[in-house]
Structure 1
Amino acid sequence: MDTESMKNIPEQQQEWPGHTAGMDPQPDHGETSYTGRDRLVGKKALITGGDSGIGRATAIAFAKEGADVAIVYLPQEQQDAEETRNQVQQAGRTCVLIAADLRTEDACRQVAEEAINGLGSLDVLINNAGFQMAQDSLTDISEEQLHRTFATNVFPLFLLTKALLPHLKEGSSVINCTSIQAFEPSETLLDYASTKAAINNATVNLAAELGPQGIRVNAVAPGPIWTPLQPATQPPKKVEGFGSGTPLGRAGQPIEVATAFVYLASDEASYVSGTVLGVTGGKPVF
């Protein structure tokens, strides 16, 4: 795995939602660096935001561990989604593509139906899709941005989980993607950081509610991870040196976060529920 290049990320910018091909350096999703160990054999997972970044790396890692996956992505991310499917298929597993905007209950119900139809059943739901857009102050955050941030980051956690609940059986797992921003918020990401704090709370509450059914609910809190979201939502100067302020002195690779999702989805984590697992390069998550 190339971690040295993560110490010197150059200034750059993309239009939202960003694409993997335009990133410098190219992120590592585990295409060649990750080796599966049969930890998820026979499992079926739905991953939102699965076209690129953490979602792609998680889909690839799950496939290499023996799982079939369905990924959800925005229609304008089709190219990245097809590359994710290609990588999953190279690992010998099935990848169902579902293009959808998850901000409404109808969309979440449709995605749930397509995922079940495509995979046959479901063992793992990963609520990973997210939106952020850096702004200098509260007065720069428009009503439209506020709605998009909360409707993308928080609403599907409730709506998609609810839609899939009849299909989740004992031993199933729901894993949410929160952030270091919930614990150490950046002033320029006020609305985004607020959604991540909400996700932490929802994770703990859902773990309490679904525990009696044998369904585990956890969250992964990434730190600064090199994904298309960064050059597409941050000013170029903020992207330069991205992640250098962590104790490890660099940004993380997407595959370094995917390993946390693998663990929480696996039977190795059978007694782990209601927790937030930090993958932050040394920044505290408490």
Structure 2
Amino acid sequence: MTAAPHDMSAPVVLITGASRGIGAATARRAAAAGYRVAVNYRRDEAAAWGVVDAVRRAGAQAVAIQGDVSDEADVRRIFEGVDLAFGRLTALVNNAGVLETQARVDGTDAERLQRILATNVIGSFLCAREAIRRMSTRYGGSGGAIVNVSSAASRLGAAGEYVDYAASKGAIDTMTIGLAQEVAGEGIRVNAVRPAFIYTEMHASGGEPGRVDRIKTGLPMRRGGQPEEVANAIVWLLSDEASYATGTFVEMAGGK
């Protein structure tokens, strides 16, 4: 089902960090499923509007909204932008995340840790807060769904590379479980996907653009994953097809 260009009854999804990678793929997949799509981005305006154009070509409504999820004022402004563009929010995908250059724990410092936790953990909490205030029946909403983008690193530890990033995703796992229980009676489902070894630009941020190709032969499936494969799982978790699923995780790591 694809929403008509001006279908004001179509569900509304906000995807944070949606200018590239899994976020961009999720925006395109959500558009194909009939959502009106708010594409959040931090810096790359041109890429974000490229995603918006792709969504519009699919026959759905879309808007790009700049904002850094680690900044509380920006988070409020992002959600107010969705309110103005589309009305009441239906779904949130907490996808925005950052990665620092590969390092051992004994090579980290407080500034690095604060950058990672500010976006990956605090940003996800702040966005969830604003979504709940719009979707929860406690606030007059009609319910909705949240999908957090965690990582298989939360299980695997990412030793020698990204223990700090893995720890931030461990926090997201715990948040998913607790928040799901907290708002289950208010019409909101909260689930997560745990991708890993996906072909995205994030690996370049860690200093190794070819990381997936280096690792893939050691995976049970012997290949890396595509952003679209993760996006399919995210949009399924948002949908009514997953109506009895909350506090759950979909593993997207090739069997690792």
> Is TM more than 0.5 here?
yes
Residue 183 (1) aligns with residue 122 (2): no
Match of 2:17 among 46, 49, 66: 49
Contact 1:173 1:215 in 2 (8 A): yes
Match of 1:120 among 84, 87, 90: 87
> After the TM superposition, which segments of 4 or more aligned residues of structure 1 sit over 4 Å from their partners?
none
Residue 273 (1) aligns with residue 240 (2): no
How far 1:142 moved relative to its partner? 2.3
Distance 1:119 1:244, change over 3 A: farther
Residue 220 (1) aligns with residue 193 (2): yes
C-alpha distance after superposition, 1:181-224 (max 9, x if no partner): 01112111011000101000000000010011011000011021
Aligned residues: CA RMSD: 1.7
Match of 2:229 among 256, 260, 275: 256
Aligned to 1:61: 29
How many angstroms apart in 2 are the aligned matches of 1:211 and 1:258? 23
How far 1:165 moved relative to its partner? 1.9
Match of 1:149 among 116, 136, 141: 116
**Structure 2: 5+ residue stretches without partners:** 4-8, 136-140
Contact 2:16 2:95 in 1 (8 A): yes
How many angstroms apart in 2 are the aligned matches of 1:215 and 1:170? 9
2:223 is aligned with what amino acid? R
How far 1:81 moved relative to its partner? 0.8
How far 1:140 moved relative to its partner? 1.9
Larger RCO, structures 1/2 (Cα 8 Å, 6+ apart): 1
1:105 is aligned with what amino acid? E
SS in 1 for 2:130: helix
Distance 1:177 1:237, change over 3 A: closer
Aligned to 1:172: 144
How many angstroms apart in 1 are the aligned matches of 2:209 and 2:70? 28
1:279 is aligned with what amino acid? M
Equivalent pairs counted in the alignment come to 245
Match of 2:97 among 126, 130, 133: 130
How many angstroms apart in 2 are the aligned matches of 1:133 and 1:94? 34
2:158 is aligned with what amino acid? S
1:214 is aligned with what amino acid? G
C-alpha distance after superposition, 1:110-164 (max 9, x if no partner): 1111111111121100000001123332232122211110001011111111123
How many angstroms apart in 1 are the aligned matches of 2:58 and 2:177? 34
SS in 1 for 2:199: coil
**Structure 1: 5+ residue stretches without partners:** 1-35
How many angstroms apart in 2 are the aligned matches of 1:182 and 1:85? 31
Distance 1:201 1:240, change over 3 A: same
1:67 is aligned with what amino acid? Y
C-alpha distance after superposition, 1:157-176 (max 9, x if no partner): 11111123221134400110
How many angstroms apart in 2 are the aligned matches of 1:134 and 1:181? 15
Contact 1:231 1:239 in 2 (8 A): no
C-alpha distance after superposition, 1:206-261 (max 9, x if no partner): 00100110110000110211111112323356454353321111110000000001
Distance 1:122 1:189, change over 3 A: same
How many angstroms apart in 1 are the aligned matches of 2:106 and 2:158? 16
Aligned to 1:140: 107
How many angstroms apart in 1 are the aligned matches of 2:35 and 2:201? 25
Contact 1:243 1:252 in 2 (8 A): no
Contact 2:102 2:206 in 1 (8 A): no
SS in 2 for 1:144: helix
Tell me the TM-score normalised to structure 2 length. 0.91
How far 1:83 moved relative to its partner? 1.2
Match of 1:161 among 121, 128, 143: 128
Aligned to 2:219: 246
